[in-house]
């Protein structure tokens, strides 16, 4: 009963119900009067056809186009109105002065750096540096193969902070994990350490008390909620901050799949054993992570005059010839950076591709690249969960998995529970790890962050983690793909058609 009351009364549920009510009222208004408004219908149909033809000529993903065209042509009056409203919201979000200015601030700092390349993967690096994400040498890293390892290592470095701590998370949960972190942050604030925290208002809406950011601010922290939920229908609400970033004194930085909550450290078992991964970097590339955080901070707070350079603290140098490139995705632009790096890595693979993915909702380009690699003799291996956290999403993920299996891709289900790590390794030589899932939301709509690297020692650790996880996983074969009823297949096909919204 208590869980039901909490569900009904939490902020996300209330806002969701209000948004649903607005949609229903708009629908009723349109169709109550539209039936007698012949010209309104006719105009909407004509506009729907024109918009559909226009969308065909754009470079948007075909799945997005398909959903909009079906929407516009089947329910033209409502569809046309919602199209114009949602597009206006997206344009205003993308063209905001604060976002443009925050990007320029980061680019100004990037321009001061001399980019460094390795010959073997130069095109990857040129692509990223052309987007003002610098490549760094003199950096080392530690792969962390569980949320427990990340928490332990992160707490150790938080306690050593002298100047500043930056934290950016999609989810922060009131939990034992957060209590341990908060205890250290309170002590560090008393010592004069500057603490900035960003958390996503949607991702943390059911995890934190109402106005929890104000409680943290009273403790002396600078805290903002990214893209706060509002009590009106707003397409811009789809754009979420899915990043996982911790930067300490510009000396060390963490990223990966691990949010803050007890399920991530297996103190709480929601979907069996939670398998996750993260990485800690130390050295020159930390500055790239610091800049990514500050870019979002200045956008979200509108502090456009913030001096980024004062956070570029110098430390004892690290000597390492390997390349590290921290980079991010911003939904305001059309670069689709993480997706394009996925494609680079898959297309360049000569021997093997290793991918861990909690969700497998693929666009046509990535699905085709994986199939082509497999059919060209590359050993393509993907690990997905066996216990889902979102059942409808998992149903769609299984359909994509079965499609890949039929093309020779080896897809494994992690039997102990839920795998949440997000990484790709090709030829055991180059890798990407960070917050980006293999789904439409991560690759097209959310703020994400990742690190590209070719550090042999760290990639060996990542490869060992992957190969150990395979031993705990079951291979999906053509023989054990279950025959399902026609009703299941129809429902699965409908869900697959709406993949970009899942």
Largest CA distance in the chain: 76
- Residues 115-150 have pLDDT tens digits of 767 777 888 888 998 888 999 999 999 999 999 999
pLDDT tens digits, residue range 12-50? 666 666 666 766 666 666 666 555 556 666 777 777 777
Active site residues: 242, 244, 249, 420, 422, 427
pTM higher than the cut 0.85: yes
Q: Per-residue pLDDT averaged across 110-116, rounded?
A: 74
Which residues is 453 bridged to in the sheet?
324, 431
φ/ψ (deg, to 5) at 35: -60, -35
Q: What does DSSP say about strands 379-385 and 410-414: parallel, antiparallel, or unpaired?
A: parallel
CB atoms under 10 Å from CB of 172, counted, come to 24
Instruction: Specify whether the CB–CB gap between 441 and 426 falls below 8 A.
Output: no
pLDDT digits (tens, 9 = 90+) for 474-484: 999 877 777 77
- pLDDT of 91: 42
Res. 90 pLDDT band, cuts 50 70 90: very low
The CB density around residue 203, as the number of other CB atoms within 10 Å, is 22
- Residue 205 contacts residue 19 (beta carbons within 8 Å): no
Ordered domains of the chain (ranges, CATH): 2-94 (no CATH), 97-329 (3.30.870.10), 337-501 (3.30.870.10)
Q: Higher model confidence: residue 1 or residue 395?
A: 395
Helices (H), 198-285: 212-218
Output the pLDDT for position 71: 74
Whole-number pLDDT of residue 6: 53
pLDDT in tens, 415-431: 999 999 999 999 999 99
Q: How far apart are CA 345 and CA 355, in angstroms?
A: 11
Residue 249 region by backbone torsions, left for phi larger than 0, else alpha for psi between -120 and 50, else beta: left
At what angle are helices 486-497 and 62-74 packed, to 10 degrees?
Answer: 100
Mean pLDDT of the chain: 86
């Amino acid at each position: 009963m208590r869980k039901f009351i909490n569900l009904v009364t939490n902020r996300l549920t209330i806002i969701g119900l209000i948004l649903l009510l607005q949609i229903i009222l708009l629908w009723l208004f349109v169709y109550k009067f539209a039936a007698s408004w012949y010209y309104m219908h006719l105009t909407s149909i004509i506009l729907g056809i024109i918009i559909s033809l226009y969308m065909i000529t754009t470079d948007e993903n075909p799945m997005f186009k398909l959903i909009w065209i079906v929407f516009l042509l089947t329910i033209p009056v409502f569809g046309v109105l919602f199209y114009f409203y949602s597009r206006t919201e997206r344009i205003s979000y993308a063209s905001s002065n604060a976002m443009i200015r925050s990007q320029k601030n980061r680019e100004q700092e990037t321009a001061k750096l001399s980019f460094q390349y390795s010959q073997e993967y130069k095109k990857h690096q040129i692509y990223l540096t052309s987007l003002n994400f610098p490549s760094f040498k003199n950096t080392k890293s530690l792969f962390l193969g569980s949320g427990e390892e990340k928490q332990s290592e992160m707490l150790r470095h938080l306690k050593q902070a002298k100047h500043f701590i930056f934290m950016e998370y999609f989810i922060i949960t009131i939990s034992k994990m957060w209590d341990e972190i908060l205890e250290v942050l309170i002590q560090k604030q008393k010592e004069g350490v500057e603490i900035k925290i960003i958390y996503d208002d949607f991702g943390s809406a059911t995890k934190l008390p109402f106005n929890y950011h104000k409680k943290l601010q009273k403790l002396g922290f600078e805290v903002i909620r990214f893209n706060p939920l509002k009590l009106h229908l707003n397409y811009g609400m789809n754009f979420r901050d899915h990043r996982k970033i911790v930067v300490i004194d510009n000396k060390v930085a963490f990223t990966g799949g691990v949010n803050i909550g007890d399920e991530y450290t297996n103190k709480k078992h929601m979907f069996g054993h939670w398998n996750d991964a993260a990485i800690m970097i130390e050295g020159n590339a930390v500055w790239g992570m610091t800049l990514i955080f500050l870019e979002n901070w200045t956008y979200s707070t509108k502090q456009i005059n913030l001096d980024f350079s004062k956070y570029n603290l110098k430390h004892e140098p690290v000597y390492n010839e390997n390349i590290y490139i921290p980079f991010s995705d911003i939904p305001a632009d059309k670069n689709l950076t993480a997706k394009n790096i996925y494609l680079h890595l898959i297309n360049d693979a000569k021997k093997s591709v290793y991918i861990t993915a909690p969700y497998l909702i693929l666009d046509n380009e990535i699905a085709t690249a994986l199939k082509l690699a497999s059919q060209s003799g590359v050993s393509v291996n993907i690990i997905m969960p066996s216990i889902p956290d979102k059942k409808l999403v998992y149903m769609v993920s299984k359909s994509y998995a079965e499609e890949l299996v039929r093309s020779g891709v080896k897809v494994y289900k992690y039997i102990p529970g839920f795998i949440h790590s997000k990484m790709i390794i090709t030829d055991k030589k180059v890798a990407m790890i960070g917050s980006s899932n293999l789904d439409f939301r991560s690759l097209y709509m959310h703020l994400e962050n990742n690190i590209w690297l070719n550090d042999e020692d760290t990639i060996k650790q990542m490869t060992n983690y992957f190969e150990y996880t395979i031993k705990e996983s079951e291979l999906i074969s053509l023989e054990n793909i279950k025959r399902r009823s026609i009703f299941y297949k129809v429902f699965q096909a409908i869900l697959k058609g709406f993949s970009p919204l899942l």
